[in-house]
Amino acid sequence: MDGILAQIKAPVFANRNFDITKYGAVGNGKFNCSAAIKAAIDACNKAGGGKVVVPAGKYYTGPVCIKSNVNLHLNKGATLLFSTKPNDYLPLVPTRWEGVELMNYSPLIYAYEEQNIALTGEGVLDGQATSQNWWPWKGKEEYGFKPGMPSQVDKANRAALFAMAEKDVPQRERKFGNGFYLRPQFVQPYLCKNILIEGVKIINSPMWILNPVLCTNVTINKVSVESSGPNTDGCDPESCKNVLIKDCYFNTGDDCIALKSGRNRDGRRINVPCENVVIEGCTMVNGHGGIVIGSEISGGVKNIFAQNCTMNSPLLDRALRIKTSSARGGVTENVYLRNISVGQVKEEAILITMFYEDKGPFMPVIRNIEVDNMQVKHGGTTGILVEGYFNQPVQNLRLNNVSINNVKVPYNIANLAGLQLNNVVINGNELKISEVKITQAEKELH
């Protein structure tokens, strides 16, 4: 972990300030400040870099595109209110959606092939997504969808994108946007280097929130994320190298932190893993999982370190969640957690499964997982759930000083090779390796 941290350096910026109000922005929450923000960013970039300042006030805007050597800085009391009109996120840009490349709506904050960029300050980024806009596109009634409304689940939309990927249709020919209902991500640096996201609060996202893709040297520090919509993952580094996520707060409608590397054939085509990730001092509240790997991990995930994190909510499903399938393939290896404090989870404290969603011919590999000093007060349905294939078991799971209390089922382990236990106590009883029953049956997909 220390070796990885030594490679991660936050970018620094020239001492120049570019106040967006000097370029025509008005902070009344109604005036469209898109052109003013763009002009300030362009001027900052042309001058060699510096800080684009958003002063106190509410600034309505469309998508914001950050350029090299620019730090977009929100002062205390500043809010960027993002448009909920899909047309404002045109023209289409190269992006990645649920692990598949395409041309789609611009993310709300976007950067493409830039370096030395930042999003900082004490202000708020409000995507304004609700059950009245963006979220109904998921196609579920709990998010505002009503029968007869268009959504991403229509066959010509999400499924069409995945079909194009399986046929290797070039990215530039995968044109979506209007009429396809694939929601944009909130913050997506794409093919960028040297990134800092620090201090800001991000709320009400259409979809995935912090989603660096194919980036190197990423620092995400003291960021607060709150969004209860569908697929509003808090932080999804995707096919990134050298990432630090530190002292952040996640209260989300999906996974809090999820490490990814592409879906199925498209992920294998790009074949770039998510690697060298350090997560420390983070707080996870609601969500499907606290620290998650998958499920779009066809390019592999390796060398993941998480420590000193706190998780607690009756609406947090799991603490550690590794999810993949034989449609995904890929290698997940070298995952280390230590000093994890869990107040309550709804389902599993530790979940490792090879049977998430789809089935195919690409057998996944999961190996070398260690959890050291995890304390769980209320463990939900199952303490430890492991599901491997008979011909491809999960390999090398080591648990040290793990305590899981108030759980209905202590463990359910199928097809695991190389289990090590040291002071693992579930419901007050020490789990001894000689007594653990590992089943050999092959689970069928739901």
**How far is 82 from 424, CA to CA, in rounded Å?**
48
Residue 88 to residue 37: CA distance in whole angstroms: 14
Nearest to 195 by CA among 312, 304, 109: 109
Question: What is the torsional sign of CA 253, 59, 90, 267?
Answer: negative
Closest to 246 in 3D by CA, of 263, 271, 268, 224: 224
Question: H or E element: which one contains 401?
Answer: strand 394-404
Could you give the residue numbers annotated as active site? 254, 288
Q: Bridge partners of 100?
A: 97
> Distance between CA atoms of 236 and 188, rounded to whole angstroms?
10
Q: Determine the Cα–Cα distance for residues 133 and 406; give it in Å rounded to an integer.
A: 40
- CA 220 to chain CA centroid, nearest Å: 12
Classified as helix, coil or strand, 44 is helix
Paired with 241 in beta bridges are: 216, 275
